[in-house]
Amino acid sequence: MQAWNEVSLWMDQLGDTLTPRPCLSQDIEADVVIIGAGFTGLWTAYYLKRQAPHLRIVILEAQTSGFGASGRNGGWLIGGMLGESRMLGGLSADKRKQSFRLLQSIPDDVQRVLLEEGIECHYRKAGMLNCAARYPEQESRLRQELKALHEEGHSEHDYRWLDAQQLERQVRIAGAYGAIYSPHCATVSPALLVRGLADAVERLGVSIFDHSPVSRWHGRAVHTDKARVGAQWIVPAVEGYAAGFEALRKIQIPVQSMLVATEPLAKERWAEIGLAQGQALCEHSRQVTYAQRTVDDRLVFGARGGYQFGGRLRSDFKLNADEVGLRRMLLESLFPSLRGVHLTHAWGGNLGMARRFRPHMLCDKQQGIALAGGFGGEGVGATHLAGQTLADLILDQPSERVEQPWVFRDKPLSSLASWEPEPCRWLAYKGIICAFANEDRVLANPETAPWRRTLVSTVAASLERLMR
């Protein structure tokens, strides 16, 4: 078992409260068996039990709740979905607005559960700042994005432009050009949330078995090394760990997120930086940076992660010097006053990515399978909607949730797009990431000739479109 400080800052902060639950030691029968005690599995169990208290629900967890992606992420609770603009683009204006409301309500819906269940997870809803911070191309891209968002039906309340002076009142980044601000985002300690949610579903009567990895899934039964669980419904809530199941490994591949955390910073340092309300922060580059100020005054900072040949899971997240160095460089380029700051934690995790970057929620009644995944960086919030949706699908409850374009009702797993075979996807990943990193280096250099800036941006944008 890894030390908790090697799993993530969030898990390390839980300390002695991390007591594993017993493992499954004998065969049992259930109505629903859920593989994985992360956000997707726990939210599904929570809403099933809320609507149908009589259901016998069993959750099998390979490690302990929070060990996977749910306890390792950046802690953004976003009122949105990866690729939502593409998925909703074909709907009528009224239908799009209905979907926007459904997504944007996620942070508030989660907060209601936190209050009802007494879960303390450092929830702060101060919105999200998407900044043009390091080069002028970021501003032009962001303004185009804002224009597109408004054309889709979003209002100024949902997304609005902050000029450099307005941005400085929230966060001080030297030379920043401006930002898009959205109120539909909260920050949390994800480990506290997942552990609190596990306790809540147990109080409702759900059985959770830790250290019970599923070795085989066949028909309407799953097997661990010690026992079998038979059930009418199987919910493989495994996200990045789908690689361990033949039926799932082609539709959800594992990619790795990587983050660092600073030591707690002095009040004087934070007075220079800002983020006084706990706003979520990113800067608009294809390096995919994201940050939050924690309640103990650290800066948690992440950037685009990795992919291993063949979709292999990564188990060792002791980040190497280059992995830490990239995140330190990006952090210090935004906040030069933090140059040389002590980093107390560096970690990562496996998350699931669907082909065409399209999240999915699927229900196959004939096979008794319900699953959701492919959420990318939006998973902390999107899994809440997924749990509600899977509960509606399993219970055959009509709702606006089950009518969304990311929902596959009464469809087999083969309905979901599959990833290309190796070495195609590894070569594509390597080529695209190199192009993105090169674009960032070129654009961040103010001495770069205009023709070269245009060329690298055109190449990177073309490759990004190919990914989708």
Domain spans of the chain? 4-73+190-252+356-415, 125-186+254-353, 424-467
Asked if pLDDT for residue 1 goes beyond 90, the answer is no
* 251-302 pLDDT tens trace: 999 999 999 999 999 999 999 999 999 999 999 999 889 999 999 999 999 9
Domain 4-73+190-252+356-415, CATH: 3.50.50.60
What's the pLDDT at 393?
Answer: 98
* Spatial distance between the Cα atoms of 190 and 67, rounded to a whole number of angstroms: 11
* 424-435 pLDDT tens trace: 989 988 888 899
Domain 125-186+254-353, CATH: 3.30.9.10
Beta strand 228-236 with 28-35 is parallel
Q: What is the mean pLDDT of residues 21-50?
A: 97
Crossing angle of the two packed helices 379-394 and 39-51, in degrees rounded to 10:
40
Distances (CA, A) of 267 to 9, 168, 270, 336, 343: 21, 17, 5, 17, 17
* 228-239 pLDDT tens trace: 999 999 999 999
What's the pLDDT at 428?
Answer: 87
* 398-408 pLDDT tens trace: 999 999 999 99
Asked if pLDDT for residue 191 goes beyond 70, the answer is yes
pLDDT band at 179 (very low <50, low <70, confident <90, very high): very high
What's the pLDDT at 465?
Answer: 82
292 forms beta bridges with 300
pLDDT band at 244 (very low <50, low <70, confident <90, very high): confident
What's the pLDDT at 109?
Answer: 98
Q: Which structure tokens are listed for 388? A: 């509600």
What's the pLDDT at 2?
Answer: 58
Asked if pLDDT for residue 437 goes beyond 80, the answer is yes
What's the pLDDT at 458?
Answer: 94
- Per cent of the chain over pLDDT 90 is 85
Average pLDDT for the chain: 94
* Spatial distance between the Cα atoms of 308 and 305, rounded to a whole number of angstroms: 10
Does 125-186+254-353 match 4-73+190-252+356-415 at the fold level? no
* 144-154 pLDDT tens trace: 999 999 999 99
* 326-385 pLDDT tens trace: 999 999 999 999 999 999 999 999 999 998 889 999 999 999 999 999 998 899 999 999
Asked if pLDDT for residue 209 goes beyond 90, the answer is yes
Q: What is the rounded end-to-end Cα distance, in angstroms, of the chain?
A: 37
Q: What is the mean pLDDT of residues 197-212?
A: 98
What's the pLDDT at 347?
Answer: 96
The pTM for the full model equals 0.96
Q: What is the mean pLDDT of residues 157-168?
A: 97
Q: What is the mean pLDDT of residues 391-404?
A: 97
Decide: 211 and 23 in contact? Cβ < 8 Å.
Answer: yes
